């Protein structure tokens, strides 16, 4: 049996003794913790084989450091204020607000109770969620039976994940794709950009739409994008239709211009002939002397 001398300032005045022993009747357990960048992470810990227990103090120290990163004695906290006891009346679980990549690592967790103390080593891993993927094709307009490359890009995730391709029937085409992983570390914020290229020498447009799905390092889906391929045939028909419309409009404008021109010429002709006709009429009627 191990003993620890608890300083008076850490001791609950309701207790008569300041010497506490490590317990052989109960255990402290803390499974590995997986946090998400910029979110709240809960470090799940619980007492095993005991129900009625009161937490006096907790100390969390990162392996390799001498001073606790975080400490809480009753209601008094010290150290990194992002850390706190989730619910001291229920369990020794901790939580971290605004999780950072620097929180990753191995820790020593020392929990002091009214029934003794216990030490345990725990681990924290931090991941970052990928943004929704962005897709594109080259060429932009694709002919049925022609060559095409499908692209899918996802950023800001960590650790490195993967990208899978599926057609409308659910067939997985990933084995035919090329995946590029580009790691980044900007001021301690780590990420791995993913870029996948799926190439067809002769594509069957009946396979669309294609789905690009992004999985994180634990093969949990982070996001997806459904890709609609623009058919070159539809585009040609659209251009042809537009061209026909333009030709019709141009023809109507030409005919209209000719009609206006003929009417204007006729009007001028009538105006020029009006005086001559008036003279001829006067001669016939003997009005000119």
Cα Rg of the chain (Å, integer): 41
Q: Are residues 203 and 227 in the same domain?
A: yes
Half-sphere exposure of 247 (CA within 13 A, CB side): 6
Question: Same domain for 95 and 176?
Answer: no
pLDDT of amino acid 75: 83
User: Across-strand partners of 179?
Assistant: 196
pLDDT, residue 247, reads: 52
Domain residues for 206?
134-231
Place of tokens 């009625």: 52
Total domains, the chain: 2
Instruction: Among 99, 127, 155, identify where a domain stops.
Output: 127
Q: Are residues 159 and 223 both part of a single domain?
A: yes
Query: pTM above 0.75?
Result: no
Residue 77 domain flag: yes
- 168 within domain boundaries: yes
Name the nearest CA neighbour of 77 among 53, 58, 92, 62.
58
The last residue of a domain, from among 231, 256, 284: 231
Given this model, what pLDDT does residue 249 score?
43
Number of C-beta neighbours around residue 224 at 10 A: 18
Would you give per-residue pLDDT tens digits along the chain (289 residues)? Answer: 444 444 444 444 444 344 456 667 789 999 999 999 999 999 999 999 888 899 999 999 999 999 999 999 988 999 999 999 998 778 999 999 999 999 999 999 999 999 999 999 999 999 999 999 999 999 999 999 999 999 999 999 999 999 999 999 999 999 999 999 999 999 999 999 999 999 999 999 999 999 999 999 999 999 999 998 988 765 444 444 444 555 544 444 545 555 555 555 555 555 555 555 544 554 455 554 4
Give yes or no: residues 221 and 142 share one domain. yes
Domain boundary among 127, 151, 173: 127
Alpha carbons 282 and 152: distance in angstroms, whole number: 92
Residue 7 lies in a domain: yes
Backbone φ and ψ for 160, nearest 5 degrees, come out as -60, 135
Give residue 152's pLDDT.
98
Task: List the one residue out of 114, 120, 112 whose CA is nearest residue 43.
Answer: 120
How confident is the model at residue 268, as a pLDDT? Answer: 55
- The rounded distance, in Å, linking the Cα atoms of 97 and 70 is 13
9 and 33 inside one domain? yes
Predicted confidence at residue 51, as pLDDT, reads 82
Res 236: pLDDT:
46
285 found inside a domain: no
Cβ–Cβ < 8 Å for 148, 136: no
- For residue 7, the cross-strand partners are none
**CATH number where 54 lies:** 2.60.40.10
């Amino acid at each position: 049996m191990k003993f620890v001398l608890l300083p008076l300032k850490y001791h609950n005045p309701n207790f008569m003794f300041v010497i506490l022993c490590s317990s052989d009747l109960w255990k402290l357990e803390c499974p590995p913790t997986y946090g998400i960048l910029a979110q709240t992470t809960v470090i799940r810990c619980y007492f095993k084989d005991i129900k009625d227990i009161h937490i006096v103090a907790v100390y969390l120290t990162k392996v390799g450091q001498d001073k606790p990163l975080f400490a809480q004695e009753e209601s008094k906290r010290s150290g990194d204020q992002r850390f706190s006891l989730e619910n001291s009346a229920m369990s020794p679980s901790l939580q971290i607000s605004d999780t950072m990549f620097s929180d990753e690592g191995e820790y020593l967790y020392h929990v002091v109770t009214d029934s003794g103390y216990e030490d345990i080593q725990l681990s924290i891993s931090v991941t970052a969620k990928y943004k929704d993927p962005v897709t594109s094709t080259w060429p932009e307009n694709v002919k049925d039976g022609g060559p095409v490359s499908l692209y899918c890009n996802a950023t800001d995730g960590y650790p490195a994940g993967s990208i899978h391709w599926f057609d409308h029937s659910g067939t997985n085409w990933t084995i035919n794709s090329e995946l590029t992983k580009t790691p980044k570390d900007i001021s301690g914020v780590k990420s791995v950009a993913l870029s996948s290229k799926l190439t067809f020498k002769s594509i069957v447009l009946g396979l669309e739409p294609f789905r690009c799905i992004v999985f994180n390092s634990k093969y949990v889906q982070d996001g997806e994008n459904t890709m609609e391929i623009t058919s070159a045939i539809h585009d040609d028909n659209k251009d042809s239709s537009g061209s026909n419309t333009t030709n019709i409009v141009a023809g109507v404008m030409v005919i209209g211009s000719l009609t206006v021109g003929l009417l204007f010429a006729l009007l001028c002709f009538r105006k020029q002939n009006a005086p001559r006709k008036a003279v001829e009429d006067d001669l016939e009627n003997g009005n000119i002397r």
